[in-house]
């Protein structure tokens, strides 16, 4: 439900009658871009109509095109893998570890002579190990586009995710940290990336006065622009986000403290526990995770549809909008870089992990009681024979 401040902000735009950013000299979209750039400490922010559009424009911005390979995690929303394919590049899956983010050892194994970019994803407000990812990228001369669609405003070791790589993409669809139903934002501190993304998101047929100056010739693009209406909804939300995130951090810490009192519940490792807002718990075996999810009404990650690579029907079938457009044409091995048997460790982790909601809008004592009830549920779940033999676990290379 929209709050009063958001209703007032949208009403002002509607009553003014100028709902496209370039028809409004006092564009709220332009203001939102400036506010986002300042909040995240990025030089450039570009408002677009979805997170998928932000990913596309970011990949174009860093120069991804036909024949390139782009490394994406096997656990992410399908858009992360679809975006490179739409540009004629091929996504190559990287396993996630128990942090639910890219396993950097597997990332390095998947690099070939065709690899051009890495897309680490910060799923569920859980941060990827950006120091390690950037070190790999630097060693191999690769571009990094952060998919921070699910983690707007979240911190990784003092920096906001989305601003650490060469470009970052955010989504403002429903359930995101700030939301306008649909919407997205690209951020970068690289003027060349910003200029290319601006051209691509606005048909590229003419130059706007506000664009970043560039010597790059104009090229054809799409129309991915954000209208004034979502921008007006998002601006008031941006103002309260920091308070909400800090409450989420406090609530997560309260839950983790409750869980620490009982060894039957294990919090997933995290790459920056002090700043963490997202929370998942991981079990030694899938059956126990499934029984916990059913008992508590929480979600086991293997059951989250198109966030799991085995459910990316169009990507796995290599079906583009026209069979004549085949990014896989002329490739030697691996001919099937997204086949399920390439990422069995990801499936194992997703089967054993459950998501715990960290609500900022509930009182802290209620959050504590909810955590205690989860512990009690586990204590009352007898070990069954199927639960006893643990499945093979990942070696953990993360600080937790
Ligand atoms: C990780 C991730 N990447 C990309 C997207 C695509 O964003 P949108 O739905 O706004 O296009 C989403 C959306 O849920 C997402 O969760």
Ordered by start, the domain boundaries in the chain are 4-237
pTM as predicted: 0.94
User: What is the distance between the alpha carbons of residues 226 and 233, in angstroms, rounded to a whole number?
Assistant: 12
**125 exposed, middle or buried (CB, 10 Å; 0-12, 13-18, 19+)?**
buried
Question: 99 CB under 6 A from ligand 1?
Answer: no
pLDDT in the model for residue 385: 56
Q: Is the peptide bond before 140 cis (omega within 30 degrees of 0)?
A: no
In a 3-state reduction of DSSP, which class is residue 358? coil
pLDDT at 391 over 60: no
Q: Is 120 in the pocket of ligand 1 (CB under 6 A)?
A: no
Give the total residue count for the chain.
400
What mean pLDDT comes out for the span 344-369? 95
Cβ contacts of 313-318, under 8 Å, gap ≥ 24: 314/78, 314/82, 315/78, 315/81, 315/82, 315/85, 315/91, 316/340
Identify the weakest region by mean pLDDT among 165-169, 258-262, 368-372: 258-262
79 lines ligand 1 (CB under 6 A): yes
Does ligand 1 have an atom closer than 6 angstroms to the CB of 184?
yes
* Residue in 81, 149, 178 to alter for ligand 1 test, most ligand atoms within 8 A of Cβ: 149
* Residue-level pLDDT at 213: 86
Average pLDDT over residues 177-185: 97
100 CA from centroid of ligand 1 (Å): 16
Helix (H, G, I), strand (E, B) or coil at 146: strand
List beta partners, residue 353.
282
Q: Which of 46-55, 207-216, 250-259, 318-327 has the lowest mean pLDDT?
A: 207-216
Ligand 1 centroid from CA 215, angstroms:
32
Structure tokens at 39: 């909040």
Name the strand (E) or helix (H) holding 229. Answer: helix 228-260
Cβ-proximal residues to 329 (8 Å cutoff; 6+ apart), any chain: none
Any idea of the CA torsion for 88, 226, 62, 142, to the nearest 10 degrees? -90
Atom of ligand 1 nearest to the CA of 172: 10
- Chain-centroid distance of CA 120 in Å reads 8
Among the listed ranges 48-57, 215-224, 254-263, 335-344, which one has the minimum average pLDDT value? Answer: 335-344
C-alpha of residue 177 to centroid of ligand 1, in Å: 12
Indicate whether 263 pLDDT > 90. no
| Residue to mutate (ligand 1; options 48, 49, 50, 51; most atoms within 8 A of CB) | 51
Residue indicated by tokens 């007006």: 232
Contact 134, 165 (CB under 8 A): yes
| Residue 143: active-site member | no
The DSSP bridge partners found for residue 225 are 48
Nearest to 127 by CA among 234, 239, 268, 306: 268
Judge if the beta carbon of residue 101 lies within 6 A of ligand 1. no
Residue 199 φ then ψ, to 5°: -60, -45
For residue range 185-230, list pLDDT tens digits in order.
999 999 999 999 999 999 976 778 888 888 888 899 999 999 999 9
Please answer whether residues 127 and 270 qualify as being in contact, where contact means their C-beta atoms are separated by less than 8 angstroms. Answer: yes
80 touches ligand 1 (CB under 6 Å): yes
76 lines ligand 1 (CB under 6 A): yes
The two tokens of residue 361 are 């809008």
Ligand 1 centre distance from Cα of residue 124 (Å): 11
Closest residue by Cα to residue 175 from 269, 62, 276, 307: 307
pLDDT digits (tens, 9 = 90+) for 36-62: 999 999 999 999 999 999 999 999 999
Architecture of the structural domain at 4-237: 3-Layer(aba) Sandwich (3.40)
146 lines ligand 1 (CB under 6 A): no
* C-alpha 51 – ligand 1 centre gap (Å): 5
Mean pLDDT (whole number) for 130-136: 98
Q: Answer for the pair 34, 46: CB distance below 8 angstroms, yes or no.
A: no
DSSP string across 112-137 = -TTEEEE--B-GGGPPP-HHHHHHHH
Cα–Cα dist 307/336, whole Å? 19
Please give the structure tokens belonging to residue 56: 């596309």
Mean pLDDT of 336-354: 86
Q: Which of 110, 143, 176, 355 is catalytic?
A: 176
Best mutation site among 73, 74, 79 for ligand 1 pocket (most ligand atoms within 8 Å of CB): 79
- On the question of pLDDT at 387 being above 90, the answer is no
User: Does ligand 1 have an atom closer than 6 angstroms to the CB of 195?
Assistant: no
């Amino acid at each position: 439900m929209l709050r009063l401040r958001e209703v007032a902000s949208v009403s002002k735009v509607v009553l003014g009658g100028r709902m496209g950013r370039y028809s409004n000299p006092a564009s709220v979209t332009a203001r939102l871009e400036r506010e986002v750039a300042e909040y995240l400490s990025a030089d450039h922010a570009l408002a677009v109509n979805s997170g998928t559009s932000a990913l596309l424009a970011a990949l174009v911005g860093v120069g991804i095109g036909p024949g390139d390979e782009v490394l994406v995690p096997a656990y992410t929303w399908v858009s992360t893998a679809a975006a490179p394919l739409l540009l004629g590049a091929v996504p190559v899956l990287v396993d996630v570890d128990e942090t639910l983010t890219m396993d950097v050892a597997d990332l390095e194994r998947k690099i070939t002579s065709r690899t051009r970019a890495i897309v680490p994803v910060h799923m569920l407000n859980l941060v990827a190990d950006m120091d390690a990812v950037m070190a790999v990228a630097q060693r191999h001369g690769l571009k990094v586009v952060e998919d921070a669609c699910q983690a707007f405003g979240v911190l990784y070791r003092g920096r906001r995710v989305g601003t650490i790589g060469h470009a970052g993409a955010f989504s403002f669809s429903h359930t995101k940290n700030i939301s306008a139903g649909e919407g997205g934002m690209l951020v970068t501190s690289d003027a060349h990336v910003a200029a290319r993304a601006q051209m691509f998101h606005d048909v590229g047929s003419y130059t706007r006065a506000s664009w970043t100056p560039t010597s790059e010739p104009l090229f054809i693009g799409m129309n991915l622009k954000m209208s004034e209406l979502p921008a007006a909804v998002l601006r008031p939300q941006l103002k309260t986000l920091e308070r909400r995130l800090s409450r989420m951090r406090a609530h997560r810490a309260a839950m983790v403290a409750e869980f620490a009192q009982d060894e039957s519940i294990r919090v997933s490792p995290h790459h920056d526990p002090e700043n963490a807002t997202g929370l998942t718990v991981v079990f030694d075996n899938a059956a126990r995770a499934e029984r916990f999810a059913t008992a508590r009404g929480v979600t086991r990650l293997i059951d989250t549809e198109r966030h799991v690579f085995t459910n990316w029907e169009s990507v796995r079938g290599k079906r583009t909008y026209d069979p004549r457009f085949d990014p896989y044409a002329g490739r030697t091995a691996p001919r099937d870089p997204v086949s399920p048997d390439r990422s069995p460790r990801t499936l194992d982790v997703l089967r054993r992990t459950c998501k715990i909601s960290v609500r900022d809008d509930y009182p802290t004592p209620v959050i504590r009681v909810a955590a205690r009830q989860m512990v009690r549920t586990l204590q009352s779940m007898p070990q069954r024979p199927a639960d006893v033999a643990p499945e093979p676990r990942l070696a953990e290379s993360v600080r937790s």
